[in-house]
Structure 1
C-alpha cells in the first residue's frame, strides 16, 4: 500500500469533484486534504439521483474553495507529481470543460445544470 504523509501533494475525489491538494492530517479512513486546485468541477443536481431533473431539490454544487480542507477517503487519494496550477485558472478550466460537456449533452438535466453553472460562474468570476 502506498502510504502518504503530511505535506504530500495529491489528487482527491470529493463527492463528484476532483481536486489537487496537500495532506494536512492523516486519519484511520481519510486524509485531510487542503485544496490547491480544481481538476474536475462537481456535477450539478442531486447526488443521490445523478443526471435526474425530477428531484425534490436540484442542487447548485460549488467547487471546494482554495485552502478549504476536506476529508477524502484514503482510496480516493493519489499522488500528484506535476506542477500545481493556480487555483482560479484551474477552476476556470474545470468549469469550461464541464460546461462544454453539458452543452453537448442535450438532456433536461444538462440544460438545468447549465443554468446552475452560469450562476456559479458569476459568483466565481465577478467582473
Structure 2
C-alpha cells in the first residue's frame, strides 16, 4: 500500500456523495480519510443518487449538506489539499445554496423544479 498523502490536521477539500466540503483530516483509515467538515464548497444534488437528474424515481430524496464539524469517511481519491483560508460554515453554506439555486434556475426542467422545491425546504431549515 502506498504511503498516505495527508496527515491528521491537514486542511483538505473532500467530495462526499455529490457535495464538496472543506475541512480537516481527523483520522487515516485503510481506504478513506475521516474528514471533519468546516465549510461547504458545493451543496449536494437533490434526488436519487443512483438515477441523477431523473424525477421518475420511487423517492426523490432531499439531500442535506453535512453539518458543521460532522465527520465523514471520504475515499482517499476524493480528498485534495486545501491552501486558502477556510470560510465560516454558515456563510459557505449560504453561498453554496445560492450557487445551486442559480444553476437550477437556468433551465426549466422537471428535475430542476423539483430540486428547487427541496432546496427551498432545506433553506427554511438551515437559515431559520
TM range (shorter): over 0.9
Picking from 95, 106, 110, the partner of 2:108 is: 106
Q: Deviations over 1:72-118 (max 9, x none)?
A: 00000000000000000000000000000000021100000000000
Aligned counterpart for 1:119 among listed residues 113, 118, 121: 121
Which aligned pairs between 1:70-85 and structure 2 lie closer than 5 A? 70-85=72-87
Counterpart of 2:11? 9
Equivalences for residues 7-46 of structure 1 within 5 A: 7-46=9-48
Deviation at 1:2, TM superposition (A): 6.7
- 1:50 maps to 52
Gaps of 5+ in 1: none
What is the match of residue 97 of structure 2?
95
Q: Aligned equivalents of 1:105 and 1:20: distance in 2?
A: 28
Q: Equivalent residue of 2:51, what SS? A: coil
> Following TM superposition, where does structure 1 have runs of at least 4 consecutive aligned residues deviating by more than 2 angstroms?
none
Gap runs ≥5 in structure 2: none
What is the alpha-carbon distance in structure 2 between the residues aligned to residue 2 and residue 41 of structure 1?
A: 27
Partner SS, residue 22 of structure 2: strand
> Aligned partners of 1:2, 1:95: CA distance in 2, in Å?
33
Structure 1 length as normaliser, TM-score? 0.97
Distance 1:111 1:3 in 2: 41
